[in-house]
Amino acid sequence: MSLSAFHALPLPIVQLSLDAVLKCGQSFRWSTFPLPQPNDASREYRLCLYDRVVCLRQSPTQLFYRSVYPDPQPSETQARLLDAETLVWLKDYFQLDVDLANLYQEWGVRDQVFLNIKERFSGIRMLRQDPWENLVSFICSSNNNISRITKMVQNLCIHYSPPLLHISDPSCLESRQAYHPFPSPSVLARPDVSAKLRSLGFGYRADFIQKTARLLVDTHGTGSETWLMNLREETTEKAREELLKFMGVGRKVADCVLLMSLDKREVIPVDTHVHQIAIKHYGLKGSANGKKINMTPKIYEEVNKKLVDVWGDYAGWAHSVS
DNA sequence: GGTCTACCTTTAGA
DNA sequence: ATCTAAAGGTAGA
């Protein structure tokens, strides 16, 4: 395993803050490593894709990236091509063609509440994630918290996909970290998966995951992941309708997938947190007759409509900042 | 078609 | 120390 040097991509921190974006409930699979103090960046982020591990660091003006490849190591010529691919992937994953400063400006004009908080939460943008991983991750998210969701996603990778490679940290000779890609639908579709996941603490979500994988594979076979990816070309309504067919996928989870991996930037997944924000700042009723209002499909629509009205086309992106 | 409940597990707060 | 409520909800009645 060679420790290739980092490449640098000029990128102002207002366009992307790794600290704000990677560990806050969009993706649950990035791992972090503390760096020696003198460095500009506070920590390194790593994510295992299907054929490589991407490592990121950040300064106020630059994004540093490198890829680590499994053996046999690529030649220098090959590595140059592969690293170029990584850059293409980064631009896609972080949607760097979208000017975040512009969006913040626009949201500030449309919304006084946003104007007040925008300085404190800069650099928060929507990732463009893999739909399959995103779907499974958010099936895990129901009635759950981020730290447990993270452990569950880790467990899925550890138990259902072999490690692509290991990285030893120079700063800590003992540690030899394994990096697993996200498991495929066909592996998670196996009938014994639900019992195993239950024993791993997934609770009732164990069956949802196995059944969702099963339905996907039975319907679309080896083209399952491509089929999910192609929902990007469908309308929001059509794509949502397809997602709702899966076990464990209700409106909220479907909307997370639509927003975070299927390019539906206007979609706002309404969870309890967003509901509270809508009540506190955007004039929605929080209670009636002294009783707290529960989330219902009707309330969901009301919250959604109001916030899209306030924030516009990129409402889903705006909601992740608030 | 809207409304009510059970559901796994963990953890912060009473 | 024990207990409850809530945690980025959903399926089924």
Q: What is the pLDDT of residues A17-57, one digit of tens each?
A: 999 999 889 999 999 988 876 666 679 999 999 999 999 99
The CATH number of the domain holding residue A60 is 3.30.310
The stretch A158-171 carries a mean pLDDT of 91
Single pTM value for the model: 0.96
* Separation between the CA of A71 and the C1’ of B13 (whole angstroms): 50
Q: Alpha helix locations (H) across chain A?
A: 18-21, 76-93, 100-110, 112-117, 131-140, 146-160, 185-188, 193-199, 205-220, 224-230, 236-243, 251-261, 272-281, 297-311, 315-321
Answer yes or no: do A158 and A82 share one domain: no
A78 and A26 Cβ atoms separated by less than 8 Å: no
Residue of A23, A196, A252, A306 with catalytic role: A252
- pLDDT single digits (tens) A61-111: 999 999 999 999 999 999 999 999 999 999 999 999 999 999 999 999 999
* Separation between the CA of A73 and the C1’ of B12 (whole angstroms): 47
Q: Alpha helix locations (H) across A58-144?
A: 76-93, 100-110, 112-117, 131-140
The stretch A188-201 carries a mean pLDDT of 97
Q: Amino acid identity, residue A91? A: K
- Element (DSSP H or E) covering residue A53: strand A53-58
Q: Does A252 participate in catalysis according to the annotation?
A: yes
Q: How far apart are CA A317 and CA A126, in angstroms?
A: 6
Alpha-carbon dihedral angle through residues A11, A14, A15, A20, given to the nearest 10 degrees: 110
Nucleic strand C within 7 A of Cβ A247: yes
The CATH number of the domain holding residue A293 is 1.10.340.30
Answer yes or no: do A67 and A214 share one domain: no
Is there a domain that residue A292 lies in? yes
* Separation between the CA of A247 and the C1’ of C12 (whole angstroms): 12
Report which of residues A220 and A168 the model is more confident about.
A220
Q: Who among residues 183-222 of A has its Cβ near strand C, under 7 Å?
A: 204, 208
Answer yes or no: do A193 and A311 share one domain: yes
- Nucleotide nearest A145 (Cα, C1'): C7
pLDDT at A9 over 80: yes
Is there a domain that residue A175 lies in? no
**What residue numbers bound the domain in which A63 lies?**
7-97
Q: How many structural domains compose chain A?
A: 2
pLDDT of A39 reads 64
- Per mean pLDDT, which range of A61-65, A162-166, A300-304, A311-315 is the poorest? A300-304
- The percentage of chain A sitting over the pLDDT mark of 90, rounded to a whole number, equals 82
